[in-house]
A and B are shown apart, each in its own frame.
Chain A
Amino acid sequence: MGNDAATARADSLPATARRIRQDIVRMLYAAGSGHPGGSLSVTDLLTALVFHELKLDPGRPDWPERDRLVLSKGHAAPALYAALAERGFLPREELLTLRRLGSRLQGHVDRGKLPVIEASTGCLGQGVGIAVGMALDARLGHRAHRVYAVLGDGECQEGSTWEALMAAGHYRLSNFVAILDRNGIETDGPTESILGIEPIGDKFRAFRFHTLEIDGHDFGQILDAFAEARRFVDGPTAIVARTVKGKGVSFMEGQHGWHGKAPNRAEAERALRELGTELEAPFP
């Protein structure tokens, strides 16, 4: 990867993320169901991963040296599909098949249907363990690629999430990064009123993670955190990224009602206007 290309991609991350958010709204409207809140909150993190941090080659999705990304919060599938399409791993037109019978774009990410996905997830509390296995594999095989797991904050209520994090800390997996999309809201409401996970940064630290707490919508902070994670070689890094559920669509922001509900036509039109486009606009 040339440095100039990487720099150009870094400069254009906000515009890229905006296109991805547009696609997420279109996909969810077309599908009639899905998870907008957590897709929009994690968009900037995924954009930074797919367009800047991860070593990937759209021409060779199975390139052995690629970095691995496990989306443990598999319900944010629309965000990852849209980012991968934008990066050239699948045709953007295909995004509108989300959740349709026969589609490669399952409601939760599916490796069997779409091989560029590293692991099928959906039921929470499993992706971090898979990522830990992949990081152990890389270390055992003396391979240089890195493994990233993106998890949700409701998912931090799953005990198995902590089992897997405990293992990453125990094995001092410096090739592993856990990225928490800390949007503060789960299906039924705020995490802190349902089952509080704070102080979440201290929890990661107690599990032997080098822990960075950032604004998950500030690309400068996101890229700095990734760079810091690469520099840290004594164990795993956790990035606690404070985000806004439904980010970018005013009436979805901070609303738990938009965790798992698709917009209707009027709502999709309004959301897309806020994101600078319109429903009928063709994919550029």
Chain B
Amino acid sequence: MTDARKAESLRDAYGKALVELGEKDPTLVVLDADLSGSTRTMLFGQRFPDRFFNVGVMEDTMMTIAAGFALEGRVAFASTFAVFAAGQAYNFVRQSIGYNRSNVKIVATHGGLLVGPDGGTHQMLEDIGLMRGLPGMTVIVPADAPSTRAATFAVAERAGPAYVRLTRENLPTVTDGSFTIGRAAELRAGTDLTIVGVGAMLARGLEAAEDLAKVGVSTRVLDFASVKPFDEPALLRAARDTGAILVLEEHTVLTGVGALVASTTSENYPVPVRRVGVPDVFGESGDAWALLDRYGLSKERILDEAWELLKLRGKVQ
């Protein structure tokens, strides 16, 4: 897989966006838990040392301190790895940020399998489900650097808590850089099948769509970066127009975007839905991109599932 081609860092895009936000809003604060070099909040810290709080390795209390800032009227960004932000600190996010409706923007880097060599302890595969389940939490999973930048601005402007999940690896640019909370972006038009994807999987989805086009299959590709609120009309339009949906996510299939898509379509416009995601297992150490293949998130698997859906719909033999 050649996903490194023309790839850009989502984390750098986030760090640079933070600096711009810091220029615009002199009250904005940023917190990190000893990973500011990795999350790139360091860029904000170098520019605005007074408004940057590296609290050390205490993700739980980073969330409550951020909530304290936010309850006093500031926009507070808090960053660490996804496994710590959504996993370690879950109940701190739930009560101090979610229940308190604190205006805290959690930007979690290192989501999913693409953490690579650090292994299964650090490969967060459950965060979308955990965060999506919190009332009032906006959940965003950008697919590339330009949309990361746009999403950072968007969550800063929107009142209330937000969770943004970023990927460690550089990702190829697949969007036009625009992003609107609550809207799905159509990255490719199509009529036979719809691929709904988030994050790193969208690049693979687009490659699969290209292959399908060569054999005459027209595939719509939707960027579902705004997981919550999500674009239900776009999803149901896709169900109606194409009759089959394939969901791609670097997350457990149990509680992620696939579960959301399947439940939404089955309640409103039932069509066959298949999910390409991580099965009910933890990850392991390995080369980041090889891990995607190993856990069933390969382009070949996407094509197999697409073919199954097309057969179910009677569109191929």
Residue B176 is within 8 A (CB to CB) of chain A in the complex: no
CB contact between B50 and one of A140, A159, A164 (< 8 Å): that residue: A140
Using a CB-CB cutoff of 8 Å, which residues 122-168 of chain A contact chain B? Answer: 122-123, 125-138, 140-141, 159-160, 163-164, 166-167
- Contact of B114 with A by CB under 8 A: no
User: Hey, which chain B residues are within 8 Å of A122, CB to CB?
Assistant: 95
A220 within 8 A of B: no
Task: Check B74–A137 contact: CB distance below 8 A.
Answer: yes
Report A-chain residues with C-beta under 8 Å of the C-beta of B64: 126-130, 132-133, 160, 164
Q: Known contacts A123-B91, A137-B74, A140-B29; decide if A163 and B61 are in contact (CB<8 Å).
A: yes
Closest to B73 in A: A137
Give the residue name and chain of the A residue nearest to B99 (CB). A120
Q: A134-B72, A136-B53 are in contact. Are A129 and B100 (CB under 8 A)?
A: no
- Given A120-B99, A163-B61, A164-B61, A126-B92 contact (CB < 8 Å): yes
Contact B29 A129 (CB under 8 A): no
> Is A121 in contact with chain B by the CB < 8 A criterion?
yes
User: Are B71 and A118 within 8 A (Cβ)?
Assistant: yes
What is the 8 Å Cβ interface bit string for chain B, positions 100-135, against chain A (1 contact, 0 not)? 110000000000000000000000000000000000
State how many angstroms separate the Cβ of B70 from the closest Cβ of chain A: 8
Contact A112 B100 (CB under 8 A): yes
Q: Total interface residues on A, using CB and 8 Å?
A: 30
* Contact present for A133 and B69 (CB under 8 Å): yes
Asked if B96 CB lies within 8 Å of chain A CBs, one says yes
Contact present for B96 and A126 (CB under 8 Å): yes
Contact of A163 among B27, B60, B72, B94 (CB under 8 A): B60
Residue numbers in A under 8 Å from B63 (CB-CB): 129
B86 interface residue, CB < 8 Å from A? no
| 0 or 1 for each of B57-80: is its CB under 8 Å from A? (1 = yes) | 010110111111111101010000
The answer to whether B58 and A137 have CB atoms under 8 Å apart is no
**Please, which residues of chain A bring their CB within 8 A of the CB of B55?**
167
Q: In the complex the two chains form, what is the Cα distance from A279 to B293 in whole Å?
A: 70
Contact A111 B67 (CB under 8 A): no
CB distance A119 to B71 under 8 Å? yes
B51 within 8 A of A: yes
Which residues of A66-99 are within 8 A (CB) of B? none
**Which residue of chain A is the closest to B31 with respect to CB atoms?**
A133
- Residue in contact with B69 in the complex, picked from A118, A137, A164, CB distance below 8 Å: A137
- Whether A120 and B60, one on each chain, are in contact in the complex, defined by CB atoms closer than 8 angstroms, is no
Cβ distance B31 to chain A, nearest Cβ, rounded Å: 9
A132 to B31 alpha-carbon distance, docked (Å): 13
Task: Point out the residues of chain B lying under 8 angstroms from A112, CB to CB.
Answer: 99-101
Q: Check B95 against A164 for contact (C-beta < 8 Å).
A: no
Known A129-B65, A133-B69; contact A120-B100, beta-carbon cutoff 8 A? yes
Name the interface residues of A148-190: CB closer than 8 Å to any CB of B. 159-160, 163-164, 166-167
Q: A119-B96, A120-B100, A167-B55 given as contacts; is B61 within 8 A of A160 (CB)?
A: yes
**Chain A residue at smallest Cβ distance from B59:** A163
Closest residue of A by beta carbon distance from B70? A133
Which of B51, B53, B58, B95 has the largest count of A CB atoms less than 10 A from its CB?
B95
In angstroms, Cα B88 to Cα A163, docked, is: 14
Closest to A135 in B: B68
| Contact (Cβ within 8 A) B51 A130 | no
Q: Which residues of B contact A134 (CB under 8 A)?
A: 68-69, 71-72
A125 to B64: give the CA distance in the assembly, Å: 9
Between B27, B64, B70, B101, the greatest number of chain A beta carbons within 10 A of the residue's beta carbon is seen for B64
How near does chain B come to A12, taking the closest CB pair, in angstroms? Answer: 32
CB <8 Å contact, B61 and A129: yes
Taking the nearest CB of chain A, how far is it from the CB of B148, in angstroms? 26
List of B residues within 8 angstroms of A126 by Cβ: 64, 92, 95-96
| Cα–Cα, bound, A67→B65 (Å) | 17
Q: How far is B69's CA from A136's CA once the two chains are assembled, in angstroms? A: 7
| Minimum C-beta distance from A71 to chain B (A) | 13
Question: Contact between B100 and A119 (Cβ–Cβ < 8 Å)?
Answer: yes
- List residues of chain A with CB within 8 A of the CB of B100: 111-112, 119-120, 130
Bound: A160/B91 CA distance, A = 11
B72, closest chain A residue (CB): A137
Say how far B44's CB is from chain A's closest CB, in angstroms: 14
Q: Which of A201-243 contact B (CB under 8 A)?
A: none
Interface centre among B27, B51, B99 (most CB of A within 10 A): B99
- Identify which of A123, A133, A163 contacts B68 (C-beta below 8 A): A133
Q: Which of A111, A128, A140: most chain B Cβ within 10 A?
A: A140
Q: Give chain B residues whose Cβ lies under 8 Å from the Cβ of A129.
A: 60-61, 63-65, 67-68, 92, 96
Q: What is the minimal beta-carbon distance from B283 to any residue of chain A, in angstroms?
A: 27
Q: A: which residues have CB within 8 A of B?
A: 111-112, 118-123, 125-138, 140-141, 159-160, 163-164, 166-167
Binding site for A on B (CB under 8 A): 27, 29, 50-51, 53, 55, 58, 60-61, 63-72, 74, 76, 91-92, 94-96, 99-101
A-B contact pairs, 14 of them (CB 8 A): A119-B96, A120-B99, A126-B92, A126-B96, A129-B67, A133-B64, A133-B71, A135-B68, A136-B69, A137-B29, A137-B69, A160-B60, A164-B65, A167-B55
Extra contacts, 15 of them, besides A123-B91, A163-B61 (Cβ < 8 A), are A112-B100, A119-B71, A121-B95, A129-B64, A130-B65, A130-B67, A130-B100, A132-B64, A132-B65, A134-B69, A141-B72, A163-B58, A164-B64, A164-B65, A167-B55
In the A-B complex, the 5 residue pairs with the smallest Cβ-Cβ separation, listed nearest first, are A133-B68, A129-B64, A163-B61, A133-B65, A163-B58
